[in-house]
């Protein structure tokens, strides 16, 4: 499906999105984390992004507690945390977002007490 989008077969991609959602929802749920990671690599997959975000709003642990959370695409994370209907405590969301930001900056010292002002700015701009 991503290949179809890259080759600009918009109609085919839209058809496949609808087909997956309507007839393969069970498969999408079984492969949810991997699907979620991939669909945000291409902004043309709006229906699948919305479908997945609706699921994550109800079951945020599917993503926030995933062992692959730190490799989540930035636009996927932004799309997710911009929602106001996530069924998860805000402090847990904030802590995971901080962990994600730290994972995106591997040069940060492991102990935050040793961070410089520059280190905090690096995290802030992630």
State the chain's mean pLDDT as an integer: 88
Given a contact cutoff of 8 angstroms between Cβ atoms, the answer to whether 48 and 35 are in contact is yes
Asked whether the predicted pLDDT for residue 83 surpasses 90, the reply is: no
Determine the Cα–Cα distance for residues 119 and 69; give it in Å rounded to an integer: 22
According to the model, what pLDDT value does residue 2 have? 62
Span 20-72, pLDDT tens digits: 999 999 999 888 888 888 888 877 889 999 999 899 889 998 889 888 899 89
- More confident of the two residues 3 and 74: 74
- More confident of the two residues 3 and 62: 62
Average pLDDT rounded to a whole number, residues 3-25: 80
Say what the pTM is. 0.74
The closest alpha carbon to 97, from 115, 62, 72, belongs to 72
Asked whether the predicted pLDDT for residue 10 surpasses 80, the reply is: no
115: left (phi over 0), alpha (psi -120 to 50) or beta: beta
Asked whether the predicted pLDDT for residue 8 surpasses 70, the reply is: no
According to the model, what pLDDT value does residue 118 have? 93
Q: How far is CA 20 from CA 27, 55, 58, 60, 71, in A?
A: 8, 15, 20, 21, 24
Given a contact cutoff of 8 angstroms between Cβ atoms, the answer to whether 69 and 96 are in contact is yes
Q: Domain total for the chain?
A: 1
48 class by beta-carbon count within 10 Å (0-12 exposed, 13-18 middle, 19+ buried): buried
List the domain range (segments joined by +) for residue 10.
2-125
């Amino acid at each position: 499906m991503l290949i179809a989008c890259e080759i600009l077969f918009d109609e085919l991609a839209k058809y496949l999105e609808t087909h997956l959602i309507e007839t393969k929802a069970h498969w999408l749920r079984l492969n949810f984390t991997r699907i979620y990671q991939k669909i945000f690599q291409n902004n043309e997959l709006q229906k699948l992004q919305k479908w997945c975000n609706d699921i994550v709003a109800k079951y945020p642990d599917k993503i926030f507690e995933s062992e692959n959370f730190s490799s989540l695409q930035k636009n996927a994370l932004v799309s997710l945390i911009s929602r106001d209907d996530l069924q998860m405590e805000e402090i847990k969301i904030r802590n995971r977002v901080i962990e994600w930001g730290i994972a995106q900056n591997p040069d940060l010292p492991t102990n935050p007490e040793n961070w410089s002002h520059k280190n905090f700015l690096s995290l802030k701009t992630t």
